[in-house]
Amino acid sequence: MEKFVFTDGDKIGVFDGEKTALYESEYILRYREYAETRVKNDEWKYTGEGARFRGDYDTYRAKKETVRVYVNSAQIEGNKVVYAFTVNGASGVYRKDVSDEKAREEHILSSSDSEILTLHRGAENTYAVTVRANGVTSHIGILYGSNSELKTLTDGDTRDQNAYFSAVNRNEILFDSAGVGRDSEGNFSGRYSPAVICSLDLGTMEIKEIFRDKELSCTKPKQAKDGALYCIQRPNREKRGGNPLVEILLIPYRIIQAIVMFVQAFVTMFTGKSMTSGGSNPARGRETDSRKLFVDGNLIEAEKELKRNKRFKDKEYGFIPMSWKLVKIENGKAVPIKSGICDFDLCEDGGIYCTNGKHVFYIKDGKTVKVADADLCLSVSTASERNFTEDDFFV
């Protein structure tokens, strides 16, 4: 099998054709160590009986830094991996040598006012990227790794994302685009128009719409060397209508739950101890996956989706809704390949690697094989080369 790289939360997974290995980001490790040191250095100010007497004890608890880290995207370059990450709102792009544990990571880009959400390698040291400057809009850009220059190529009140170099046109980038919903006062409504697949000509800077669906969003376009187009097709917004009768019956339970949570918070605030800190309370140590994740701009409740997907026959289910489908565009129509998929990439041998958030699969000739497990996999990329050079690009 072909090599591929995938993201797994704050780690980077590499499949070498036979086995999978996980790697830590050197930058993320240093950031966490620095955050822990900073908290420990201030600990003396907010602990002890003196802090309780002054009322500063709870302030210390609030000062504990939460480190939110995600590896957003990764690309294979021989024995090295170029990856983009977000740490507490700041973003960076680094190159890691996975064949040498002692080798220092190479810095490519750092930014505190924008995020690099996706990467796709075209020429050597040249990447098509998704750049998000705020929580609503994002745009397509080119990152030159040789000099850390970042050029933004699209603009407007849109969410342009998932930039991917065409496999047949060296001066074309594929991406998906959705308009931002606004109310009468210009505030973000929390919704986007259905995403359509577009192409950007790097020579003329002309943008063309190449595929849309009247009701569904089409995202993450990728092209094979024979020109075949693939993408993820999903509802523009997941429908989660609850049963009104069940909701009414659950009201007393939720009121009791709220009272218990209030008492728990009250006791912890004044004693510094949890009500369930002793004994063999079954609530202790219980592992839950109640994370709410933004995947491709959509809020997904991982625990609920896992329970829903468990009902299907597929044993290797994940937390991506089954309404999300990997499709191939044939004669202007979307032909489904696999459901419950959030990302994929194309192999040189005609196969496809794809992920449902918990597993990575290899698909070829109608057969599906699981090749890797993950905790939080939202991106997968093969080692397919575009064989371009920097001189091939006009921008």
Taking only the tens place, the pLDDT of each residue in 250-293 is: 566 567 756 766 566 555 544 544 454 444 333 333 333 445 67
323-345 pLDDT tens trace: 999 999 999 999 999 999 999 99
**SS3 (DSSP) at 15:** strand
Instruction: Report the share of the chain in percent with pLDDT over 90.
Output: 59
Bridge partner list, 310: none
| pLDDT bracket for residue 119 (50, 70, 90) | very high
| pLDDT bracket for residue 303 (50, 70, 90) | confident
Q: Report the range of poorest mean pLDDT among 15-29, 230-244, 379-393.
A: 379-393
Q: Supply the pLDDT for residue 66.
A: 76
Q: Supply the pLDDT for residue 212.
A: 96
And the tokens for 177? 């685009």
Q: Which helix (H) or strand (E) holds 342?
A: none
pLDDT, average across residues 188-195: 92
Res. 184: pLDDT tops 50? yes
And the tokens for 318? 């994940």
19-62 pLDDT tens trace: 999 999 999 999 888 877 876 766 656 566 666 666 665 555 54
* Vertex 86: Cα angle to 80 and 91 (nearest 5): 85
Q: Supply the pLDDT for residue 290.
A: 43
Select the more confidently predicted residue: 116 or 267.
116
Distance CA(78)–CA(96), nearest Å, equals 11
Q: Look at residues 93, 342, 112 and name the one whose alpha carbon lies nearest to residue 217.
A: 342
pLDDT, average across residues 180-194: 92
Select the more confidently predicted residue: 46 or 165.
165
Q: What are phi and psi of 37, to 5 degrees?
A: -65, -40
**DSSP per residue over 295-335, as a string?**
ETTEEEEHHHHHHHHTTSS-SS--SS-TT-EEEEEETTEEE
Average pLDDT, the chain: 83
Q: Which helix (H) or strand (E) holds 261?
A: helix 251-271
Is there a contact between 376 and 9 (Cβ–Cβ < 8 Å)?
Answer: yes
Q: Supply the pLDDT for residue 385.
A: 59
pLDDT, average across residues 59-69: 65
Could you tell me the sign of the dihedral formed by the alpha carbons of 306, 119, 372, 167, in that order? positive
Res. 238: pLDDT tops 80? no
Q: Supply the pLDDT for residue 56.
A: 62
